[in-house]
Structure 1
Amino acid sequence: MFIAQAYKGNNTWWRVLITTILTAGVFIINFIMYFLMSKEDLDKVYQKMNEFPNNLSLLMNLLPFVFLLALLFLLVRGLHERSILSLTTSREKVDYKKILFSFGLVVFMTIAGFVVSYAVDNSSILWNFNPLKFAILFLISILLFPFQIGFEEYLFRGYLMQQIGIIAKNRWFPLLVTSVLFGVFHSANPEVAKMGFGVMFFYIGTGFLLGIMTLMDESLELALGFHLGNNLMAALLITSDFSAIHTDAVFRYSGVENPVDMLNEMIVSIVIVYPIILFIFVKKYNWTNWGAKLTGKIEISNTHK
């Protein structure tokens, strides 16, 4: 089992505490600062961030994840004395075809959805393509987004899900906790301030989707592919003034901010698009025994003792 892979390492409480604080600390500090600052101060911070050129701002946002992912891997190997493979999958090796399939599925569905939306009403969607700026954006995105999504997946769906799972001795509790944490730790994103905390249902719902993928497939591969495809499309396809990260994407949304419309689109993703994605995975990978895989108990096998 994926969660039981944690038994292959040294799980002394102080090791878990050190790893969690050092790696999740960036989210914790961000979360605390967000709630301590007034709305006026937050607006000043967001305004200051917007003063940087888009590509420079993206680079500044993504570069720290290179070091954070390296730190997480170092702590798992050195402090917990177990392999990165055990943090990735319960199988003998990583299946890169699953990562590519999940990535391709998200890219296809995102582009298809955009094409339909553009055909229905493109009055607020402007052509924003600048060859040089987009080339730089593409290079930054291809090189650094894998580290950003890799850190989030290995931290939430990998390390924390496994460590919480072997403490709780079940699967439903780590799924619940990591999904909520994934949403809560994104609460400082600018779109939350613009749209209100209703958007948190989208983040938490996405956390549940990624967690279900991980538990049903006993690995991070599908979650890694999905997360990478989603973030790349968010950066490369269309940008807006209320996005978490402003980019020199191909298109730009210029419409008036309407929290209700944007929340409705997010609800559609959770209620319609996410189940479709899971259905495709069910058919392709023959997922069965949902109850046991999502809520079952965690037991120590002889190979994990």
Structure 2
Amino acid sequence: MASGTHVMEKILFGVAKRWIAGNTIDDALSAAKISYKNGMSVIINKLGEYHTSNQAIQNTISEYKTIISSFRRWNVCGGISVKPTQIGLSKSMRECLQNFQSIIRSASLSQTFVWIDMESSDHTDKTIEIYQSIFSKYERLGVALQANLKRTENDLSDLLTIGAKIRLVKGAYREDSKIAYKSKEQIDANYEKLMKTLFEKGNEFGIATHDLRLIEKAKSHSREHQRKFEFQMLRGIMDSIKPDLVRDGFSLAEYIPYGTNWLPYSIRRLKERKRNILLLGSAFVSKY
């Protein structure tokens, strides 16, 4: 059983290398430099979540600060994306907020953009509360909202009243049908509705999707509404269309995760994208 698990993990890692830069900060920055040479900015995320040990939390904060201070030296245009539970939310709201403020103090020295990742619905209220608290002091701050959650339309409306910067994602966490849309058709329809709202009422936002139909919709909206926005895509996913978007004058950021905690993240990515599950299956067949 153990050997079977080991084999599956090896195959998963082979697939995960498409979007994960490696284990270290230098791996992430090396990948970021390639992205920048190809006309893209980057959003770097250290993998790992639900930290409760002080050492893990402080190591994570320290690594984000190192990344922030390294962008200029590596000649990269980039920002970071932080999960609240990796810097203390699993312990207390107060500790998480203090740690975010510490990261923001470092980011403010170079005006680095910071994104707050959205995790499962258990944390949505607190994540938005953290965002609102910090955004009043540091404007180069954005928060992710998930189109699969039924509450997101109201959250978006509320956040836009304060000029919030939004990254719109579909959502990769397993949620109850009482609070979340479950079918692809429902999620896509809600994403499209929320995206339309962003183009009509928002500014400086991220359209984070690999869905070609939604990308074309965003391009169409951009011709009608002159907004500052960027497409955001995972490193290693839909690479074939990225040069065209850059050539057409659209801003594009590659989301670059790194770190040793790649397995839970990769499983979410595989569940989110049937295409990656097929890739995993073909890798298994060809290798064994």
> TM-score normalised to the size of structure 1?
0.23
More helix by share: 1
More strand by share: 2
The structure with the largest alpha-carbon Rg is 1
Which structure ranks higher in relative contact order (CA pairs < 8 Å, sequence separation ≥ 6)? 1
